[in-house]
């Protein structure tokens, strides 16, 4: 009773190139997906892995102190090239979110397969495009990618979707990112020498990597709870803006076993899949807890 039935249905979503993963539970259906709502009220629902990649792109852009337009261009490009999936292959030797090619000097296959590295390389190339902030999403993306579509329209068609995603994962729309996950059943862990459980330690490593694109001196600082399950990340405007951190943690919950996220008086829990207001606000940190297990 209560066990997941093995049936997994993949349903194509027309218009977003995404998919939903459904698992049947005692005859019911529970979707695993993320929904981003932009400042204009429009929403985009995509699979959890794609939203995690979108959040990584936004985190790297924020760590490099780039404006939102850079994130929009990158997301539109990734949507066209890979549907924002970290592909292991593609046309010729193309790899990853942006289908970058080792033979064209983007890096090694292993490097390009790392979403943080791939995003950083994309932004480096974008910053070398003259007037990239004003030439339009399609032309800016095409100047970086040099695809078979010289007009750049294949990238421009995703501008609205990319804008909605960007304003959500970059925190501009506040707590506008909600994700639903099935509950994992990992074994319980005990804190190690660093005071963190292995899952919390992995979360800390990912956090520092994704928000340190300008070097180690830019890395976010955090303390932890006595039980080793919660990271208390120092929040400051700029590279570790609390809204960006919170959105990243929610979008990354599947890969990093995140169970709860809080900033100010807003709390997201894995069980509810949505943000709610708490009567016990916190100040100065974003608290991210991993699954306890057991």
pTM of structure: 0.85
Query: In whole angstroms, what is the distance from residue 286 CA to residue 240 CA?
Result: 10
Going by C-alpha positions, the residue among 15, 51, 16 that lies closest to residue 33 is 51
Looking at the fold, whether 126 and 62 belong to one and the same domain comes out as yes
Query: In whole angstroms, what is the distance from residue 188 CA to residue 83 CA?
Result: 35
User: Residue 146: which CATH number?
Assistant: 1.10.530
**Residue 63 belongs to domain spanning:** 37-169
Looking at the fold, whether 122 and 202 belong to one and the same domain comes out as no
H-helix or E-strand spanning residue 59: helix 48-63
Instruction: Single out the residue in 169, 203, 227 at which a domain terminates.
Output: 169
Q: Would residue 6 count as lying in a domain? A: no
- pLDDT at position 112, please? 95
- pLDDT at position 12, please? 37
Q: Is the pLDDT of residue 11 over 60?
A: no
Strand intervals (E) in the chain = 8-13, 18-25, 28-32, 34-37, 43-46, 177-179, 222-224, 230-234, 258-263, 266-269, 275-277, 285-290
CB-CB contact of 281 with 265 (8 Å): yes
Looking at the fold, whether 75 and 158 belong to one and the same domain comes out as yes
Q: Would residue 17 count as lying in a domain? A: no
DSSP secondary structure string for all residues of 151-190? T-HHHHTTHHHHHHHHHHHTSTTSS-EEE--PPP-PPP--
Give residue 6's pLDDT band: very low, low, confident or very high (50, 70, 90).
Answer: very low
Per the prediction, the chain carries an average pLDDT of: 86
CB-CB contact of 24 with 182 (8 Å): no
Instruction: Single out the residue in 142, 169, 196 at which a domain terminates.
Output: 169
- pLDDT at position 5, please? 36
Looking at the fold, whether 156 and 212 belong to one and the same domain comes out as no
Give residue 23's pLDDT band: very low, low, confident or very high (50, 70, 90).
Answer: very low
- pLDDT at position 81, please? 96
Looking at the fold, whether 41 and 143 belong to one and the same domain comes out as yes
Looking at the fold, whether 160 and 192 belong to one and the same domain comes out as no
Q: Would residue 175 count as lying in a domain? A: no
Looking at the fold, whether 153 and 52 belong to one and the same domain comes out as yes
Q: Is the pLDDT of residue 3 over 70?
A: no
Q: Would residue 100 count as lying in a domain? A: yes
Q: Would residue 247 count as lying in a domain? A: yes
Looking at the fold, whether 165 and 197 belong to one and the same domain comes out as no
Looking at the fold, whether 207 and 255 belong to one and the same domain comes out as yes
Domain count, the chain: 2
- pLDDT at position 63, please? 86
H-helix or E-strand spanning residue 274: none
Looking at the fold, whether 108 and 164 belong to one and the same domain comes out as yes
Question: For the ranges 101-105, 163-167, 182-186, 227-231, which has the lowest average pLDDT?
Answer: 182-186
Looking at the fold, whether 165 and 190 belong to one and the same domain comes out as no
- pLDDT at position 50, please? 96
CB-CB contact of 135 with 77 (8 Å): no
Q: Would residue 68 count as lying in a domain? A: yes
Question: For the ranges 32-41, 138-147, 188-197, which has the lowest average pLDDT?
Answer: 32-41
Q: Would residue 5 count as lying in a domain? A: no
Query: In whole angstroms, what is the distance from residue 169 CA to residue 30 CA?
Result: 23
Looking at the fold, whether 199 and 254 belong to one and the same domain comes out as yes
CB-CB contact of 51 with 177 (8 Å): yes
Instruction: Single out the residue in 169, 193, 228 at which a domain terminates.
Output: 169
Give the model confidence (pLDDT) of 197-237 as tens digits: 999 999 999 999 888 865 545 678 899 999 999 999 997 75
Q: Would residue 90 count as lying in a domain? A: yes
């Amino acid at each position: 009773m209560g066990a997941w039935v093995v049936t997994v249905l993949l349903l194509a979503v027309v218009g977003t190139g995404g998919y939903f993963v459904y698992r049947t539970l005692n005859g019911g259906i529970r979707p695993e997906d993320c929904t981003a709502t932009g400042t204009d009220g429009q929403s985009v629902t995509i699979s959890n892995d794609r939203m995690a990649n979108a959040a990584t792109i936004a985190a790297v852009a924020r760590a490099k102190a780039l404006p939102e337009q850079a994130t929009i261009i990158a997301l539109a490009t990734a949507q066209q090239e890979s549907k924002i999936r970290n592909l292991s292959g593609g046309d010729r030797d193309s790899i990853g979110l942006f289908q970058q090619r080792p033979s064209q000097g983007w890096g090694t296959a292993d490097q390009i397969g790392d979403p943080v590295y791939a995003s950083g390389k994309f932004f480096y190339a974008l910053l070398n495009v003259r007037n990239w902030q004003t030439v339009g999403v399609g032309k800016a993306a095409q100047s970086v990618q040099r695809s078979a579509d010289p007009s750049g329209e294949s990238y421009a068609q995703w501008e609205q979707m990319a804008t909605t995603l960007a304003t959500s994962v970059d925190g501009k729309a506040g707590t506008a990112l909600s994700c639903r996950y099935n509950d994992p059943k990992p074994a319980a862990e005990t804190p190690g020498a660093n005071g963190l459980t292995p899952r919390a330690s992995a979360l800390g490593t990912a956090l520092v990597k994704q928000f340190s694109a300008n070097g180690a001196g830019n890395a976010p600082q955090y303390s932890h709870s006595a039980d080793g399950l919660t990271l208390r990340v120092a929040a400051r405007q700029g590279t570790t803006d609390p809204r960006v951190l919170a959105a990243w943690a929610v979008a990354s919950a599947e890969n990093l076993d995140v169970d709860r996220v809080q900033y100010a008086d807003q709390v997201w829990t894995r069980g509810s899949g949505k943000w709610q207001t708490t009567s016990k606000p916190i100040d100065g940190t974003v608290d991210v807890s991993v699954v306890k297990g057991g």
